[in-house]
């Protein structure tokens, strides 16, 4: 029995030993798998690879040290770049490849206001380097996500305070206007300074006018007009000695582009004013571009108290179709009389208006004769309207039949509010035989500075968004080379809409009436 018990005991212990060995082997295998799992769960350790600086030949033992080197030696803080340009992982990869490809310096990177590396070609890597594998999402930001910096909050508070102040001033003006209206109604006389006021439209027309400048499309059209925008920029940049250290008032600032140009040309301080809602977007543009010396204001110039009473330079893009449409020159005259320093200047300095004879049978057929048969319907009743409303169109220079003649010259330093009202007797010399069916008006703009700059809206010049103004006549006339076409053009401010023009052209024994709207 004893032997049997020993045997049984041995038989019982053997499986236990085998089970223990199996357990130890399994445990060992599990540890190996655990090690593999742990390795897979942990992010790749980019930190141990030697990393060459983005801007110099310094090689750091790891990328963390390299990032610190960027901050301390080159003043390039990746966290600040991340906030400034709203960068994600792909943006940083593009940035690294952009720096390597263009050999951009730290100073150039710090001064840029645009993420020039957004082209998809910068996603294609060159040689491998740790910068391309670093997890930029872990960059620590000094600002809690979604929370503004102190300076941004202060800026917003200042803007809100300014808007509140303007609202209070608007309320005060409304009260004063109401008092003046009561005085007029009750026969107590004209409002104070009524004789010196700028001509005003009725409220609904003016509201529509300013509202039209709130739309994106009109600003895209103006800014993409390279002749217009580049000439204004050139007038400032090529005359920095005139602009540097000066105060500038930008009347009708729109998107703020001229204000920004003036700042970059060295102006000490720039104030822009516009009564359109676009000015709020312009404020964001100025803030985004970190232009500290530009202040934009929402309001009608004639009704608004400016931060400073007087300015050294007044700049404005006030020209309309046929130069005078919109009557924005009224506001420039007001700015000159109330806000220009004694030795100040106005840009542009001068504008001239010219007229020429024109004959394009195809254009006349499309715009005037068209109404004789519209899908077999006689619509000649609309033919008269097609003549009365001038066509704004880029016309082809080859159909010019006469030399141009200057019919008006406006010196912005001396022009008065009577500027829309003028008459001129013209004598246009025919230079090419043809069938004269229209007269074409255009204007030239002059910046009379030490380095003078000009642009023209002539049919022979590069087209602009102003195009040309085509005044069709009722009965086209055959002319031959050497003839002189004599006539009279008269312009008047429209009675019902002060921003519109009534134009008469007396020629070939007939008076043609037009309304530029």
φ/ψ bin of 485: left (φ > 0), alpha (ψ from -120 to 50), beta (otherwise):
beta
Q: Which of 113, 326, 396, 496 is catalytic?
A: 326
Angle in degrees, CA 81, 84, 88, rounded to 5: 65
- Given 32, 127, 317, 405, the catalytic residue: 317
Q: Answer for the pair 328, 318: CB distance below 8 angstroms, yes or no.
A: yes
Neighbours of 469 (CB within 10 A): 27
Ramachandran quadrant class, 326 (left: phi over 0; alpha: psi -120 to 50; beta: rest): left
**Which residues 6+ apart lie within 8 Å of 198 measured at CB?**
302, 330, 331, 333, 334, 417
Question: What's the CA gap between 97 and 128, in Å, rounded?
Answer: 11
The CA distance from 158 to 43, in Å, is: 45
Residue 301 near residue 328, CB atoms below 8 Å: no
The answer to whether the CB of 269 falls within 8 A of the CB of 248 is yes
Count Cα neighbours of 346 within 13 Å in the Cβ-side half-sphere.
26
> Cα–chain-centroid distance for residue 201?
27
User: Residues 472, 437: contact at Cβ < 8 Å?
Assistant: yes
CB 71, CB 110: distance < 8 Å: no
317 has catalytic annotation: yes
What span, in angstroms and rounded, lies between the C-alpha atoms of 194 and 187?
15
Beta bridge partners of 60: 51
Backbone φ, ψ for residue 479 (5° rounding): -125, 155
Q: How far apart are CA 231 and CA 119, in angstroms?
A: 29
Residue 408 CA to residue 430 CA, distance in Å, equals 21
Main-chain dihedrals φ then ψ at residue 198, nearest 5 degrees: -75, 140
Catalytic residue list: 317, 326
């Amino acid at each position: 029995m004893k032997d049997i018990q020993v045997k049984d005991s041995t038989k019982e212990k053997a499986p236990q030993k085998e089970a223990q060995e199996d357990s130890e082997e399994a445990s060992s295998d599990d540890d190996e798998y655990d090690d593999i799992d742990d390795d897979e769960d942990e992010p790749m350790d980019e930190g141990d690879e030697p990393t060459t600086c983005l801007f110099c030949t310094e090689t750091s033992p790891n990328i963390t040290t390299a990032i610190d080197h960027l901050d301390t030696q080159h003043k390039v803080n990746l966290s600040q770049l991340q906030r400034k340009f709203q960068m994600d992982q792909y943006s940083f990869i593009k940035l690294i490849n952009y720096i390597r490809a263009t050999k951009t310096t730290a100073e150039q990177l710090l001064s840029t206001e645009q993420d020039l590396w957004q082209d998809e070609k910068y996603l294609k890597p060159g040689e491998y380097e740790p910068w391309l594998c670093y997890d930029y999402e872990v960059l620590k930001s000094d600002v809690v996500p979604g929370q503004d910096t102190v300076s941004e909050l202060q800026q917003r508070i200042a803007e809100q305070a300014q808007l509140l102040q303007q609202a209070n001033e608007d309320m005060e003006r409304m009260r004063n206007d109401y008092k003046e209206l009561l005085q007029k109604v009750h026969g107590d006389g004209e409002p104070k300074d009524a004789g010196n006021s700028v001509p005003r439209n009725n409220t609904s027309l003016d509201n529509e006018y300013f509202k039209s400048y709130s739309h994106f499309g009109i600003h895209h059209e103006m800014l993409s007009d390279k002749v217009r925008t580049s000439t204004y920029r050139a007038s400032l940049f090529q005359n920095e000695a005139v602009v540097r250290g000066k105060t500038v008032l930008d009347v009708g600032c729109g998107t703020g582009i001229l204000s920004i140009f003036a700042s970059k040309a060295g102006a000490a301080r720039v104030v822009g004013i516009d009564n359109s809602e676009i000015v709020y977007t312009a404020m964001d543009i100025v803030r985004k571009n970190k232009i500290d010396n530009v202040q934009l204001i929402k309001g009608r110039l004639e009704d608004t108290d400016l931060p400073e009473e007087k300015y050294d330079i007044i700049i404005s893009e006030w020209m309309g179709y046929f130069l005078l449409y919109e009557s924005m020159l009224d506001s420039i005259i007001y700015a000159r009389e109330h806000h220009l320093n004694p030795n100040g200047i106005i840009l542009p300095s001068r504008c001239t208006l010219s007229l020429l004879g024109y004959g394009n049978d195809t254009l006349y057929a499309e715009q005037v004769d068209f109404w004789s048969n519209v899908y077999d319907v006689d619509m000649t009743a609309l033919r008269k309207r097609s003549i009365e409303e001038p066509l704004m169109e880029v016309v082809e220079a080859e159909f010019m039949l006469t030399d141009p003649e200057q019919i008006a010259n406006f010196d912005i330093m001396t022009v008065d509010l009577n500027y829309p009202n003028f008459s001129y007797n013209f004598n246009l010399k025919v230079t090419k035989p043809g069938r004269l069916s229209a007269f074409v008006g255009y204007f030239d703009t002059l910046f009379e500075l030490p380095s003078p700059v000009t642009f023209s809206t002539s049919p022979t010049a590069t087209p602009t968004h102003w195009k040309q103004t085509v005044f069709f006549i009722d009965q086209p006339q055959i002319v031959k080379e050497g003839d002189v076409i004599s006539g009279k053009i008269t312009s008047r401010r429209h009675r019902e809409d002060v921003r519109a023009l009534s134009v008469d052209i007396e020629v070939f024994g007939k008076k043609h009436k037009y309304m530029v709207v």
